[in-house]
Chains A and B, each alone.
Chain A
Amino acid sequence: MNRLKPIAVAAEALRAVTDPQHRWIAVCMGTGCSSAASAELRQALAAELAQHQQGVEVRRTGCFGFCAQGPIVVVYPDETFYTRVRPEDAAAIVVQHIVHGRPVEALLFREGPDKHPAPKWHDISFYRKQQRILLSNCGIIDPENIQHYLAREGYQALVKALDTMTPEQVIEEVTRSGLRGRGGGGFPAGVKWGLARQTPRWPKYVICNADEGDPGAFMDRSVLEGDPHSVIEGMIIAGYAIGAEQGFIYCRAEYPLAIKRLRTAIAQARELGLLGENILGSGFRFDITINEGAGAFVCGEETALMASIQGERGQPWPRPPYPVVAGLWGQPSNVNNVKTYAYVPRILRFGADWFRSLGTEGSAGTAVFALTGQVERTGLIEVPMGITLREIIFDIGGGIPGGKRFKAVQTGGPLGGCLPEAYLDTPVDFDSLRAAGAVMGSGGMIVADETTCMVEFARYFMRFVCDESCGKCPPCRIGSRRLLEILDRIAAGQGEPADIEAIHHLADGMQKGSLCALGQLAPAPVLSALRHFEEEFWAHIREQRCPTASCQKLVRAPCVSACPAGVDVPAYLALVAQGRYAEALAVHREANPFAAICGRVCPAFCEDVCKRGGVDDPIAIRHVKRFMADHEYTVPWTPPRLAPKKDIKVAIVGAGPCGLTAALRLAQLGYQVTVFERMPQPGGMMTYGIPAYRLPREVLFAEIEHIRRAGVEIRCNTELGRDITIKSLQADGYAAIVLALGAHRSRRLGVPGEDLPGVYHGVALLRDIALGKLPDLRGQVVVVVGGGDTAMDAARSAWRLGAQAVHVVYRRTRDEMPAIPEEVRGAEDEGVQFHFLVTPVAVLGQDRVTGVLLQRQRLGDFDKSGRRSPVPIPGSEFVMPCDLLVPAIGQVTWVDDEAVALSRQASFRVGKAFELGIPGVFAAGDAVTGPATVVQAVAHGNQVALVVDHWLKTGELGGVYYRPKRHDIPQLFNLDDYAEARRPAPRVLSPEERRHLPGFVEIELGYDERTIQEECKRCLRCDLEWLQRIGEPLP
């Protein structure tokens, strides 16, 4: 029997909020959508409705969380979800949807590869894995109308508490629910309340911490703006439980809308007797005051917050005594976060067991996150505790935009930690995150993709801490400054090896010595970045290189940074522009001896990042390279000797791009170098993997000849493990041995029947073609399995060998194919047919292949590589008849030598100095990295040569870094004249021409001298801008 005065709920509100048939339009009026003109939109909708005499309510609601897609409009009861709605769209919504009942397709949210529109709110994958408990009223009720809150059973928990529960029972219920503080600390709320109740001094205070200061986080704001009464109700219940009569909401002044809605809500609650004297006739008295904070992040720390309420400088004071004993004005005070209070009414209404049933053992309930950074769908989300980071980032957030890879996620805001890919399956709850080295924090979640420099990432957060440190205690005040200074220097390329130790020392001192959580946790982002990405810090310090090319002072030009070999691209472009081709080529060869080869087959990482690409098209860098190499074709190059001749013998095993480059560099340094090659010709995969239509043989062998001219001896037909062994080489007096064996063994499909005749691995096919053993494929149907470059080369070669039809089957979609896009396009032009989302499950045939059994796939969750993994669709199998099945799904290294067998899995595991654990034996290239590109192998060759040289001289492993020389070439013309110039159109033979030419003729054509010179002049000369940035004179 309810002894209290019941609260009247207006019938109209009841219908508006609870009637499932009620037709109304929700317009988000959170801060995000408001700043995108949702107020005007609301007016426009109301005007249109009036004009069409539609008695449909347009309601202001709280935040839907999908702010990047705002303003958001939802039409009920069908829950049609409109995004990016502008005031002009009001007419369409009213006329089409309200009057004629047809949703406005153009305004629906679209997602997925086919951009399929999602008609309803809960169809959108952003919402599918969410569980909106705390935000359940956001998007439904009008936050400025207390009747709406009442109609959603608002204040029923208060009635229940006052009427049927003692304060102790309330505390018991909250404790039993397992509710932990949502401000980040995770302290059990019920336990805190109990302590506050126990302190025998009055008055006591209930304080709501709404000083949400994390950059990019707006969880508390959304709750305050969308459902202010839930916070007020939670505070009143807390007041009843601990015996307080006064509440304070400390809200930052930067949240004017939240403050306005809170004031409205408090006034409405007072009017209904829910605040003030004798609440609902219970005799209990409670009221709430709002304090506006001035925007200091540290005031989110409870003691600093209370100091601020007292009118003092917002600085924390030490605990104990804890606020529950001596807080505001020295009185017992209970401080909780906005969300913690907002959960309380729901817990009392539905029971502690219900709340416990959500989330995990140690972390009950849901968590609200602000998902930001480099993720496809950003916004505010509420998820059950225990969901994995992967689910949040990839399923809800939609993964990383622009096809980039995931790198790290920072949880817990600027005081949290970052977690790399390996931690993506960590459950999101207080204890799991802490165990992983990050924290729950108040709920910021910032995603970084592969282009993010972790030094810069850490520096960003440290700069924030420096700005926000209150200055009270020396560890934080000075320590954070010293940490930032070190990070600044590292980012500017002025770091020193001792800096890493200094960071640890400062971090340790700050963690142990700082007064409050701000200083104690401030080093966490730096430490976690160091823990997971230490190599990146070392690259900045030792090599003055920013691996992601984002540290301004270290990036001379994006193209140079992007090139694995660090070729000085702007220098040779500038030289070619002036017609100084020989000098340009010399610059190139300093870092990469294979200009003509790379001019044809390089994937040109440089062009992907070219600044001019942001203006119109990137410079055709690869073509410039090809032109200058071809122009000097007739001039044989004798690589310069850089050090006197030495009487030391070095063996290189494998004459691929890595081995040859290493041999060249060591020969230039004066060593006696012999290269051992098992095949009849040198070149490795350049010879036996890349078909001649992409790389003509005379170009290839001419450049290999240059290596010989440096004094390198190349012994072909000599195989490791058969003709020579590590031991025999050592016995022959080779002081150092570099294994550059490549990755030549094709991966097996792992399905029945793959040993039948007619299964012809892509690597073997390409090798046989290079050896002149051309199979006759006329009239045959060829099925190639795989989506990489080898698959493309195999398919296009098969087509050239006269195959009747060539099919490529790939288990993912086109977007996930690792092959160079031009190659895919080339294959398509030649009539190769692609079949996506299929994978072979059996090779069919009795004595030889007659077909392949394929199974359809669908894309499931994201896997470790950040791509969606294919999931088989049972029962979708079908047969594709074929005469030849060409698996090309990757290669591994293989060697049969007793000395190295143990240190090898699919590829060699080497140390930082390429060492294998056997003194004097090193490994590099594809044998270490797995199948990669020519330029990556060249880069490895340069590096391993340097390491071997250093080891031979000093006996030390590592500590030397390959740093290409820089050439400052003057700018001799006015760049403005080339503002309108465009990249020349590609010149390739048409498929018809290709069909009619015999054999494997090169299909890509170069450009003439004039075109190339003009093209070079389009270069924006980032290198000169960099000179100005670091304060050096222009050439």
Chain B
Amino acid sequence: MAGLTIGFLRRACETERTEHEVSPMPTLTINGQRVVAPEGATILEAARAAGIAIPTLCHHPDLSNVGACRMCVVTVEKARGLQTACTTPVAEGMVVHTHSADAVATRRFVLEMLLSDHPNACMTCEVNGACELQDLVYEYGVAWPQHKGSRHTYPVDPDPNPFIVIDRNKCILCGRCVRACAEIQNRDIWSFAFRGFETKLVAGADQPLLEAGCESCGQCVAYCPTGALFDRMSVGKGRIGQVTRVRTVCSYCGVGCQIDLHVRRDGGRGRIVRVTGAADAPVNGLALCVKGRYGYDYVHSPERLTRPLVRAKWLDPDELAQRVGDNRWSVIGDADKRRSPVTGHDSPISPDTFIAVDWDTALDVVARKLAAEKAAHGGDSFAMLASAKCTNEENFLFAKFARQLMTTNNIDHCARL
């Protein structure tokens, strides 16, 4: 049952019911506007489809609905009390008021309550400007609550996870992380422990994340509406107004997840400070794996290969001397050797020294050597391991290359291992 929550089951059941009962699309009235919605849709879905805004905190379209945060409460005529728009199914003839006095007062009350147990730390918060709680507090004009009661004082960053920072003081217990982990990543690491005001978001049996089996995918961070969960590598690197988002495709594998690089430019030099999934991407949405989300630091590594390197012994000596001389190729290696003038005689270049060359030269070397090896030892002396980072088309070409050109079946793929 791991990953199958009650919300999932109930949604599944409701779908099942639609199959049983052939009923027309119910028509309802929201704020005086006639809205037609599919059977089984929630009031929230119907309203948003019709362009009517209802605020939410615990709701996310990717996740099941739990009706916990009470922000989406609306007045439904003839129903007792307020109803949560995210869980109440539409019905024929239903009359909904999304901004009745009671609904608005309740939202304000909820925000007041949440603020009354929230640190007044927006000035230093990583998600300042990109916080759903902050936006709603602003929209509803809720004042900072003055009260003599208690606020939580959990330790900030208590977890050694290398990618995820936790500040439970900012947690509003909406449970989106819990559902993201369970329903998207199927890991069930997060849950709630204790009761009432002492309710606490915990990993496993209140353990460090990694001990609880977390694979650090960061889905929980992606779905957190506040700054309670954040990407450790991005702490202090730039807030929402300081970065530009650049849409690209993750280079780690062939799935093709779209990612937004959060690029910060200070004086012209751009730096990637954070990576997030792209909500509108058809493949992945907000979801990413640990590599796609957190494996971007190589981009700015000084050790990163940016040109093909060939050992000096595989290159033509004359060409080498000439090209190094006019700086079209460069010698990679010991600093002392590079400082010596390259004259041709008494060369500091040893046979194994790497030379940064142009792509044509490098590929020529590869082609020449593969052909030589095949001629000397036959095609089966060659084996090829293809990469999951490559697209299907590239992998197809690899196979074709191995089987037709190299005449061997020695080809495999890293994802099969």
Knowing A312-B6, A482-B113, A513-B110, say if A473 contacts B69 (CB, 8 Å): yes
Tell me how many residues of A have a C-beta within 8 Å of chain B: 45
Knowing A330-B6, A482-B116, A485-B150, say if A515 contacts B67 (CB, 8 Å): yes
CA gap between A329 and B110 in the complex, in Å: 30
Digit string of B23-38 for contact with A (CB within 8 Å is 1, else 0)?
Answer: 0000000000000000
Which B residue's beta carbon lies closest to that of A200? B20
Contacts of A201 in B (CB 8 A): 13, 16-17, 20
Contacts of B149 in A (CB 8 A): 481-482, 485-486
Task: Determine if A875 is an interface residue (Cβ-Cβ < 8 Å).
Answer: no
**Which of B12, B14, B172, B198 sits near A474, CB closer than 8 Å?**
B172
- Asked if residues A509 and B113 are in contact (CB atoms below 8 Å), the reply is yes
CA gap between A781 and B285 in the complex, in Å: 104
- Asked if residues B6 and A318 are in contact (CB atoms below 8 Å), the reply is no
Shortest distance from the beta carbon of B144 to any chain A beta carbon, whole Å = 15
User: Which residues of B from 73 to 113 have beta carbons under 8 Å from A?
Assistant: 73, 81-84, 87-89, 102, 105-106, 109-110, 112-113
Shortest distance from the beta carbon of B112 to any chain A beta carbon, whole Å = 8
Contacts of A672 in B (CB 8 A): none
Digit string of A314-332 for contact with B (CB within 8 Å is 1, else 0)?
Answer: 0101101100001001110
Shortest distance from the beta carbon of B270 to any chain A beta carbon, whole Å = 41
Contacts of A320 in B (CB 8 A): 83, 88-89
- Asked if residues B196 and A470 are in contact (CB atoms below 8 Å), the reply is yes
**Which of B16, B20, B82 sits near A512, CB closer than 8 Å?**
B82
Task: Determine if B350 is an interface residue (Cβ-Cβ < 8 Å).
Answer: no
User: Which residues of B from 146 to 160 have beta carbons under 8 Å from A?
Assistant: 147-150
CA gap between A733 and B192 in the complex, in Å: 73
CA gap between A512 and B149 in the complex, in Å: 22
Task: Determine if A790 is an interface residue (Cβ-Cβ < 8 Å).
Answer: no
User: Which residues of B from 98 to 151 have beta carbons under 8 Å from A?
Assistant: 102, 105-106, 109-110, 112-114, 116-117, 147-150
CA gap between A513 and B197 in the complex, in Å: 16
- Asked if residues A296 and B17 are in contact (CB atoms below 8 Å), the reply is no
Task: Determine if B173 is an interface residue (Cβ-Cβ < 8 Å).
Answer: yes
Which B residue's beta carbon lies closest to that of A321? B89
Task: Determine if A478 is an interface residue (Cβ-Cβ < 8 Å).
Answer: yes
Knowing A318-B67, A330-B6, A512-B82, say if A477 contacts B173 (CB, 8 Å): yes
**Which of A331, A466, A505 sits near B197, CB closer than 8 Å?**
A466
User: Which residues of A from 469 to 503 have beta carbons under 8 Å from B?
Assistant: 469-482, 485-486, 489
**Which of A313, A480, A489 sits near B196, CB closer than 8 Å?**
A480
Contacts of B172 in A (CB 8 A): 474
- Asked if residues A471 and B196 are in contact (CB atoms below 8 Å), the reply is yes
Which B residue's beta carbon lies closest to that of A516? B67
Task: Determine if B191 is an interface residue (Cβ-Cβ < 8 Å).
Answer: yes
**Which of B14, B88, B116 sits near A318, CB closer than 8 Å?**
B88
User: Which residues of B from 170 to 190 have beta carbons under 8 Å from A?
Assistant: 172-173, 175
Shortest distance from the beta carbon of B45 to any chain A beta carbon, whole Å = 15
CA gap between A468 and B197 in the complex, in Å: 10
CA gap between A329 and B84 in the complex, in Å: 21
Shortest distance from the beta carbon of B109 to any chain A beta carbon, whole Å = 3
Digit string of B317-348 for contact with A (CB within 8 Å is 1, else 0)?
Answer: 00000000000000000000000000000000
CA gap between A310 and B8 in the complex, in Å: 13
CA gap between A296 and B195 in the complex, in Å: 9
CA gap between A332 and B361 in the complex, in Å: 72
Contacts of B148 in A (CB 8 A): 485, 489
CA gap between A200 and B10 in the complex, in Å: 15
**Which of B20, B73, B87, B196 sits near A477, CB closer than 8 Å?**
B196
Contacts of A513 in B (CB 8 A): 70, 73, 82, 106, 109-110
Knowing A477-B173, A520-B81, say if A470 contacts B13 (CB, 8 Å): no
Which A residue's beta carbon lies closest to that of B76? A320
CA gap between A326 and B148 in the complex, in Å: 43
CA gap between A475 and B108 in the complex, in Å: 11
CA gap between A505 and B145 in the complex, in Å: 13
- Asked if residues A481 and B150 are in contact (CB atoms below 8 Å), the reply is yes
Task: Determine if B68 is an interface residue (Cβ-Cβ < 8 Å).
Answer: yes
Task: Determine if A467 is an interface residue (Cβ-Cβ < 8 Å).
Answer: yes
Contacts of B10 in A (CB 8 A): 321, 326, 330
Task: Determine if A307 is an interface residue (Cβ-Cβ < 8 Å).
Answer: yes
User: Which residues of B from 182 to 224 have beta carbons under 8 Å from A?
Assistant: 191-192, 194-199
Which B residue's beta carbon lies closest to that of A465? B196
Contacts of A313 in B (CB 8 A): 191-192
- Asked if residues A474 and B13 are in contact (CB atoms below 8 Å), the reply is no
- Asked if residues A469 and B116 are in contact (CB atoms below 8 Å), the reply is no
Contacts of B110 in A (CB 8 A): 474-475, 509, 513
- Asked if residues B14 and A326 are in contact (CB atoms below 8 Å), the reply is yes
Knowing A318-B88, A485-B148, A520-B81, say if A469 contacts B114 (CB, 8 Å): no
Which A residue's beta carbon lies closest to that of B191? A313
CA gap between A476 and B68 in the complex, in Å: 11
Which A residue's beta carbon lies closest to that of B106? A513
Contacts of A489 in B (CB 8 A): 148
CA gap between A392 and B28 in the complex, in Å: 50
Contacts of B1 in A (CB 8 A): 311
Knowing A318-B88, A513-B82, say if A474 contacts B114 (CB, 8 Å): yes
- Asked if residues A471 and B20 are in contact (CB atoms below 8 Å), the reply is no
Task: Determine if B253 is an interface residue (Cβ-Cβ < 8 Å).
Answer: no
Task: Determine if B53 is an interface residue (Cβ-Cβ < 8 Å).
Answer: no
- Asked if residues A473 and B70 are in contact (CB atoms below 8 Å), the reply is yes
CA gap between A329 and B14 in the complex, in Å: 12
- Asked if residues B12 and A330 are in contact (CB atoms below 8 Å), the reply is yes
- Asked if residues A475 and B109 are in contact (CB atoms below 8 Å), the reply is yes
Contacts of A481 in B (CB 8 A): 149-150, 196-197
CA gap between A471 and B66 in the complex, in Å: 13
- Asked if residues B109 and A515 are in contact (CB atoms below 8 Å), the reply is no
CA gap between A468 and B196 in the complex, in Å: 6
Contacts of A475 in B (CB 8 A): 70, 106, 109-110, 113
CA gap between A326 and B6 in the complex, in Å: 11
CA gap between A322 and B202 in the complex, in Å: 30
Task: Determine if B9 is an interface residue (Cβ-Cβ < 8 Å).
Answer: yes
- Asked if residues B87 and A318 are in contact (CB atoms below 8 Å), the reply is yes
CA gap between A472 and B17 in the complex, in Å: 28
CA gap between A514 and B12 in the complex, in Å: 26
- Asked if residues B197 and A480 are in contact (CB atoms below 8 Å), the reply is yes
CA gap between A489 and B148 in the complex, in Å: 9
Which A residue's beta carbon lies closest to that of B197? A481
Contacts of A514 in B (CB 8 A): 70
Contacts of A468 in B (CB 8 A): 195-196
Which A residue's beta carbon lies closest to that of B7? A317
Knowing A478-B197, A481-B150, say if A473 contacts B13 (CB, 8 Å): no
- Asked if residues B106 and A509 are in contact (CB atoms below 8 Å), the reply is yes
Shortest distance from the beta carbon of A540 to any chain B beta carbon, whole Å = 16
Shortest distance from the beta carbon of A111 to any chain B beta carbon, whole Å = 43
**Which of B117, B194, B195 sits near A478, CB closer than 8 Å?**
B117
**Which of B66, B82, B84, B197 sits near A469, CB closer than 8 Å?**
B197
User: Which residues of A from 282 to 331 have beta carbons under 8 Å from B?
Assistant: 296, 307, 310-313, 315, 317-318, 320-321, 326, 329-331
* Seed contacts A330-B10, A485-B149; 10 additional CB < 8 Å A-B pairs: A311-B1, A326-B14, A466-B196, A469-B197, A470-B196, A473-B69, A476-B196, A478-B114, A481-B150, A482-B113
Top 5 A-B pairs, shortest CB-CB distance: A471-B199, A509-B109, A318-B67, A330-B13, A469-B196
Measuring CB to CB, which residues of chain B are less than 8 angstroms from any residue of chain A? 1, 5-7, 9-10, 12-14, 16-17, 20-21, 66-70, 73, 81-84, 87-89, 102, 105-106, 109-110, 112-114, 116-117, 147-150, 172-173, 175, 191-192, 194-199
A-B contact list, 20 entries, CB within 8 Å: A201-B17, A317-B67, A317-B87, A320-B88, A329-B9, A330-B9, A330-B12, A468-B195, A472-B173, A472-B199, A473-B68, A475-B110, A475-B113, A477-B197, A478-B113, A505-B109, A509-B105, A512-B106, A513-B73, A513-B82
Measuring CB to CB, which residues of chain A are less than 8 angstroms from any residue of chain B? 200-201, 296, 307, 310-313, 315, 317-318, 320-321, 326, 329-331, 466-482, 485-486, 489, 505, 508-509, 512-515, 520
